[in-house]
Amino acid sequence: SKGIIIAIDGPAAAGKSTIAKRIAQKLGYTYIDTGAMYRALTHKAIQSNINMGSDKDLADLLKHTEIVLVPEENGQAVWIDGVDCSEEIRSQEVTANVSEVAAHSTVRHLMVEKQRELAEGTGVVMDGRDIGTAVLPKAELKVFMTASVDERAERRFVENEKRGIHIPLAQLKEEIEKRDRADSERELSPLKMADDAILVDTTSMSIEEVANQVIMLAEKRM
Ligand code: C5P
């Protein structure tokens, strides 16, 4: 068979993409990082001096932007208009502005359309905020992945240090809380656990343990 649809949602820095990548690799499925798509548009908007309060300006920009998620051995690269921007879309500036960009209706509509197309006819692991509630509500498996905010900030801190990026832990925690608040309180498809999602609290779990648990859940649904 072509495989099932696995939706992984949850707050910022909960380890969704790390787990989603692993599961996709293990099952031979397509991995789709929807946050990367909103980040790519935000990056381009910053570069192009677009008003991030304007749905129309952002939607026009998006229609003229080619965002491609390129599968790679250990994850996924993000190309914008033919240029690899995988690093750039993780910048502090993009992170600080992405929630505002992602709150607009036409922007979301266009993104969701593209995300559904990408998921057609293949086994897929898609991660984001509204995958189980709005993008792919018929997903065979929905996981809502979370961890305490202290744990999430700590993980992001360690990840940053490894990449040579030095941001104080307290600042990371504040940014994560702020982004979660914005994503949860917005009007359109807010971050919210779907009624039929399975809650996985990864606070005291290893990556291996979380990946194994999700794969077990997936296998029961195949
Ligand atoms: O997953 P990541 O942290 O890269 O997502 C960046 C931002 O993109 C989120 O904070 C949220 O504002 C937006 N997003 C969204 N819907 C998704 C995925 C991400 O609104 N499905």
Instruction: State yes or no: pLDDT of 115 exceeds 80.
Output: yes
Mean pLDDT for the stretch of residues 111-120: 97
Q: Which residue's C-alpha comes closest to atom 8 of ligand 1?
A: 35
Per-residue pLDDT, 163: 87
What percent of the chain lies above the pLDDT cut of 70? 100
Strand segments (E) across the chain: 5-9, 30-33, 67-72, 75-80, 83-84, 124-128, 141-146, 198-201
Secondary-structure breakdown of the chain: helix, strand, coil percentages, each rounded to the nearest 5: 50, 15, 30
pLDDT bin (cut points 50, 70, 90) of residue 168 is very high
* pTM, full prediction: 0.97
- Testing ligand 1's pocket by substitution, the residue of 183, 186, 188, 192 carrying the most ligand atoms inside 8 A of its CB is 183
What CATH number has the domain bearing residue 196? 3.40.50.300
Mean pLDDT, the chain, rounded, equals 96
Assign 8 to helix, strand or coil.
strand
pLDDT bin (cut points 50, 70, 90) of residue 2 is confident
CA–centroid distance, 192 to ligand 1, in Å, is: 12
Per-residue pLDDT, 1: 67
C-alpha of 109 from chain center: 16
Instruction: State yes or no: pLDDT of 139 exceeds 90.
Output: yes
Is residue 122 annotated as involved in ligand binding?
no
Is residue 13 annotated as involved in ligand binding?
yes
Strand segments (E) across 156-219: 198-201
Mean pLDDT for the stretch of residues 7-30: 96
| Crossing angle of helices 34-47 and 105-118, rounded to 10° | 130
Instruction: State yes or no: pLDDT of 58 exceeds 80.
Output: yes
Indicate if the alpha-carbon torsion angle 149, 115, 133, 189 is positive or negative.
Answer: positive
pLDDT bin (cut points 50, 70, 90) of residue 189 is very high
Is residue 137 annotated as involved in ligand binding?
no
> What residues make up the domain containing 186?
5-219
What percent of the chain lies above the pLDDT cut of 90? 95
Instruction: State yes or no: pLDDT of 119 exceeds 90.
Output: yes
How many domains are contained in the chain? Answer: 1
Per-residue pLDDT, 132: 98
192 close to 10: Cβ distance less than 8 angstroms:
no
Residues with beta carbon inside 6 Å of ligand 1? 12, 34-35, 38-39, 98-99, 102, 128-131, 179, 183
pLDDT bin (cut points 50, 70, 90) of residue 73 is confident
Instruction: State yes or no: pLDDT of 167 exceeds 70.
Output: yes
CA–centroid distance, 212 to ligand 1, in Å, is: 25
Indicate if the alpha-carbon torsion angle 87, 92, 97, 103 is positive or negative.
Answer: positive
pLDDT bin (cut points 50, 70, 90) of residue 74 is confident
Instruction: State yes or no: pLDDT of 83 exceeds 80.
Output: yes
Q: Which atom of ligand 1 is nearest to the CA of 130?
A: 21
